[in-house]
Amino acid sequence: MELDFRGTPIDQYREYLAAIGGQEQPDGSFAGPGWAVTLTESEYRVFGMVMPRVLMQFTGDPPAVEAAVAALRLRSMRAGG
């Protein structure tokens, strides 16, 4: 499963992944119970601004991946204002 997050720096997602049970690996990926994820940092431009973009590729046991993604989405949810 691939996720594309925009507007939040990669370090914030590292904290979220650790909070949901992931352990950072030597290569910068994370592994949790039944799942693993690789993070790719990039950027995108909007209205002349450069914003952070983080691509995540999850692999592993489908129910474990779905649970990890659901927990990550709750952690990364932002309220409008």
Instruction: Answer yes or no: are the C-beta atoms of 26 and 34 closer than 8 Å.
Output: no
Residue 3, helix vs strand vs coil: strand
Confidence (pLDDT) at 59: 98
Token match 């997602």: residue? 13
Global pTM reads 0.89
CA gap 42, 75 in Å, rounded: 21
Side by side, which strands form the sheet with 30-32? 2-6, 49-60, 35-46, 30-32, 23-24
pLDDT tens string 33-81:
999 999 999 999 989 999 999 999 999 999 999 999 999 999 988 766 5
As to burial, measured by CB atoms within 10 angstroms (0-12 exposed, 13-18 middle, 19+ buried), residue 10 is: middle
